Structure 1
Amino acid sequence: MQKLFSQNIRDLLKVDLHRHLDCSVRWSTLVELAPQVGIELALTAQGQKDQFLITKPMKDLGSVLNKFLNAQKILASEEILTRIAFEVCEDAFNDGVRILELRYAPTFIAEDHEHLSFEKIHTALVKGLEMAKKRLPMAVGLICIIQRTKSYEDAVKVVDFAIDHKDTFIALDLADNEENFDPKIFAPLFQKAKKAGLRITVHSGEAPNHLAATWVKDSVEILGAERIGHGIQIIRDPIIMQFVRDRKIPLEVCPISNFLTQSFPTYESHPIRKLIENGILVTINSDDPGVFATTLTDDYDVLHQVHGFTLQDFKRANEIAFNASFIAENEKARFKKDFFDHV
């Protein structure tokens, strides 16, 4: 096995297809801005971390999603949104990421921020991304998220907004806890988005539920998903695993996130190796590096230390991710030589 060490894993050029912009706020920025938006910080450093960060496994995905609400309160102005969008790109670039897809839910940021319309939120975020792209050699795309836990009426508004801004959105996503939220009802909205030219990725098969693999199949067949966010629970069903393999649907796997949400109880029990051995197209992603206090390099390090990933393993995952990225080919082209031996 080719030996890697943490210090040069960071130097590897990377693709990150699954990173939530609204949960990737830099820790120092969180601490700085919290008092400005009316959040009283705990008196100790550990207390402050406990307020915002998830660094140990939570009991389930729902518990993790609730913790995100503390960080959400920071997203209180257009100026803050522009700043965090730029900083997310800067942090990713410094971690070796050259192809970056960021996603956010307009309804999540707007919650309890009545002065922030979808339009103001999006304009502010795009401004930050454009600032980053002018200063940093990287390709960045933006994905719009429907929160499946909100009303259908909210979902309609989000999809219409995404279509109206398809010049700055590359795709549509469906996120939040799948349990008790059947994906089938969203089919007309995803069909509408796809017809308008948006690509489709769907959070599915993340939580350890006996129906999780079936939800992945539904997301592909009914919602038209071209990629699946997480999808790791297909390991439970060989038939659906074969379905995903035959359809060549890439999985956006987030190893540290999967441990912290207890999708699998230990890093050792994560099925990433088994998925790859079964011919599944696997990409490696960071998910929520702000709230998790991680970088994509940390995910690589876990895979190297626990699952014996080599440079070739990482290279293959990045090739898959490069090809699966929804960012326009002409924007990705200048980085192609970084990820492929023969261009």
Structure 2
Amino acid sequence: MTATSASSLEDFIAALPKVELHVHLEGSLQPETLLTLADSHQLSDLQRSLEEIRSWYEFRDFPHFLEVYRHAVQVLRDAEDFALLAAETIRSLARQNVHYAEVNFSLCDHLERGIPAEVVFAGLEQGRTQVEAEHDITIRWVPDFPGDFGVAAGERTLDAVLTHGPASVLGFSIGGLEVDREPFADLFTRARAAGLRSLPHAGETEGPDRVWSAIHALGADRIGHGIGSMRDPALVDYLREQQLPLDVSPTSNLCTRSVASLEEHPLPRMLEKGLLVTLNSDDPPMFGTDLTGEYRTASRMGLGPAALAQLARNGVQASFLEPARKTALVAEIDATAAQHDAAS
């Protein structure tokens, strides 16, 4: 990019076609919507103002983030609530020039609260089909469960997916506290046999051992976060050789105290090592960001326009879009980069 002004960079980021591979639906709940739904369902044990919610979203650490996250989902009660959240989330992605997204949602949390899976899926599909008809965007769903809830919770979640999940369900994920992934091997074998992609969180708050177990025990097709991989040179070599994608979310890692500062975040080193890294927003309003904001953050971390364009290409490569659409979307990214003098 010949011009280096803030406005030219902002224009480039806005114009860049994007995919989002690691964003949580419930973590995309806007504070205003949370208040509206809390009032609608007469929930009195939640924060009562935008100021209180913003203060609530200042996390001490990762367990505190999970505590807030699981409390916030109480406002989702019926299909209309899930439809509203899905539509708002997808419209926000479309406004950021996101053409394709694989969206995690916490099916297990809703099942544990007594919300039937068919209610959740009905709402998600209503919101998805409505907004896909309005915008050039395709959404695929990735139901997940918290590892700290145990194998039985994962089994219940997978059973619900296999019984009630629509064709738009793409994968299966484990999140929550980063407990040992080995006990979930049989569960993920069953999910993969049913045609679901294995998309576990690993190496977010823990180290390389969790990433190795996600690879060997869970047959990971892609790793959610994976920043802990950088502590093990052998793992870095494996990830580079296999080009196993890692979905990285810098602002999330900072807000949950998984990294102490952006200066210490390993994203630039991961790219330098030749890893297939994608850029993602994780839980946007909870962390005061969105995918466009993460491209700005990557720029502040020292990545130039050519590197930002490569992150966008990486997202396409790591996605499960059909090959023809991948080729077309990469061509759009290349054209945008050339137009802004940001070719690699």
Does the CA-based 8 Å contact 1:159-1:193 persist in structure 2? yes
Alpha-carbon distance in 1 for matches of 2:77, 2:17 = 33
Deviating more after overlay: 6-15 vs 59-68? 6-15
Match status 1:187 vs 2:190: no
Deviating more after overlay: 150-159 vs 161-170? 161-170
Larger helix proportion of the pair: 2
Change (3 A) 1:147 1:4: farther
Q: Which residue matches 1:172?
A: 172
Alpha-carbon distance in 1 for matches of 2:78, 2:286 = 19
Gaps in structure 1 of 5+ consecutive residues: none
Deviating more after overlay: 280-289 vs 24-33? 24-33
Matches within 5 A, 1:26-175: 26-40=30-44, 42=47, 45-51=50-56, 53-54=57-58, 58-112=59-113, 114=114, 116-164=115-163, 165=165, 167-175=167-175
TM-superposed deviation, 1:143? 0.8
Alpha-carbon distance in 1 for matches of 2:47, 2:313 = 44
TM-superposed deviation, 1:323? 1.5
Gaps in structure 2 of 5+ consecutive residues: 337-344
CA deviation profile, 1:107-138 (whole Å, cap 9, x unmatched): 112343x2x20121112111111111111111
TM-superposed deviation, 1:252? 0.2
Residue identity opposite 1:154 in structure 2: A
TM-superposed deviation, 1:280? 0.8
Residue identity opposite 1:32 in structure 2: T
Q: Which residue matches 1:312?
A: 306
Q: Secondary structure at the match of 1:264?
A: coil
CA deviation profile, 1:260-288 (whole Å, cap 9, x unmatched): 01111001110111111111111000000
The total of aligned residue pairs comes to 330
Does the CA-based 8 Å contact 1:254-1:286 persist in structure 2? yes
Give the TM-score of the pair, scaled to structure 1: 0.90
TM-superposed deviation, 1:224? 0.4
RMSD: 2.1
TM-superposed deviation, 1:330? 5.7
Residue identity opposite 2:51 in structure 1: Q
CA deviation profile, 1:157-212 (whole Å, cap 9, x unmatched): 2122323436221111111111xx221111111111112211111100001x4xx1
Alpha-carbon distance in 2 for matches of 1:4, 1:280 = 29
Alpha-carbon distance in 1 for matches of 2:327, 2:88 = 24
Residue identity opposite 2:304 in structure 1: T
Q: Secondary structure at the match of 1:145?
A: strand
Give the TM-score of the pair, scaled to structure 2: 0.89
Alpha-carbon distance in 1 for matches of 2:154, 2:21 = 23
Change (3 A) 1:189 1:48: closer
Alpha-carbon distance in 1 for matches of 2:126, 2:73 = 19
Matches within 5 A, 1:292-331: 292-305=287-300, 307-329=301-323
Residue identity opposite 2:54 in structure 1: K
TM-superposed deviation, 1:27? 2.7
The percent identity for this pair of structures is 27
Does the CA-based 8 Å contact 1:83-1:128 persist in structure 2? yes
Change (3 A) 1:131 1:302: same
Change (3 A) 1:42 1:219: closer
Q: Which residue matches 2:224?
A: 229
